[in-house]
Structure formats: C-alpha cells, structure tokens
Amino acid sequence: MNSYTVRPAKTSDVHAIRNLVRPLAEERILLDKEAVTYYESIQEFLVAEDAEGNVVGCGGLHVIWEDIAEIRTLATSGELRGKGVGHVLLSGLLKRAKDVGVSRVFCLTFEVAFFERQGFKVMADQSAVDPAVYQELLLSRDEGVAEFLDLARVKPNTLGNTRMIITLN
C-alpha cells in the first residue's frame, strides 16, 4: 500500500484542491466552489501528499456547533481512488474534530459504503440536534448547515445525497 502524508492545507494548495474537486463536480458528486471560498476556509482543510509531494487528496472539517462538525469536500485524485487516500484524510479530519472538542461528525455523501467502512451510520433521525440548537442553527448563513438541517432551499444541492454521522469516542 502506498503511504501518504496528511498535513494542514496552505493557500498555495488551493489550485490543487480545485483540480481534485473539478472532475467530481462535473460528475455532480461534489459542489464546485469559487477559489475565494477555498481561500476563506483554507484553515479547515487537510491535504494528502504522495511520496513526491504531489497533492493527491483533500478534505475539510467545518464546525457548526459545540458538539457537531461536517466533513466537506473530501476528494482524491481519480487514479488513486480505493488506494487509502480518503481513509488517511478522513482519519486526520476526525482526529482534528476530537482535538477541537467535537463529538459528532456528519457528512452528506454519495459514497455511503466508504463512510460506513469508516464507522459512519446513515442518519435515521434528522433531528440530530435539540430544538433550541436547531433554532440557533437556522440563523446560520452557511449552506452546509442548511443542508444538515435539510432545509427546502438547498434540496437541489442534496438530491441523492445520504446524510451520515459518526459519534467519536
């Protein structure tokens, strides 16, 4: 198995991140974002590098409340899918979640089997937060929060996606 190094993303990685996301956006698996969006959230991202230092994967962790965060934009290069890049990135993102005090992490994904292998479960109950927190989250302008809350205005973005969640130990 190949080994990959996972590290915090830098602004100089934005071009590589966009190149990883673009083919998946064309397949309607991920949403494409403007460069400015990646720069604004670069501190949320980790990247995976191969032995030659090429960025071969990326993923972000976006905290939405005291105890819950979202995995965002988990992508690997097409030729390395199934080679462990996604696994090492997700492990790094879940460690980061623990480090900042988050106990639950969710994602919206088409890759159900991958996330199940990592311990995620399909969210049977859409009310993963209590009503008071739900009301607070409604104040957020973040599209990912709206997707988590399953708000009607983001339905076109989430068609076919499965909501999954993991509770961290």
Q: What is the CATH classification number for the domain harbouring 81?
A: 3.40.630.30
Please say whether the beta carbons of 29 and 110 come within 8 A: yes
- What percent of the chain has a predicted confidence (pLDDT) above 70? 78
**Predicted TM-score of the model (pTM):** 0.85
- 79 is written with which tokens? 């030729």
pLDDT digits (tens, 9 = 90+) for 57-72: 999 999 988 888 999 9
Domain count along the chain? 1
Domain range for 10 is 5-167
Quick check: helix, strand or coil at residue 124? coil
CB 95 within 8 A of CB 46: no
What confidence tens digit (pLDDT) does each residue in 130-163 have?
Answer: 667 767 766 666 666 666 666 565 555 555 688 8
Q: E strand or H helix at 122, and its extent?
A: strand 121-122
Indicate the pairing of strand 68-76 with strand 104-109. Answer: parallel
SS3 state at 134: helix
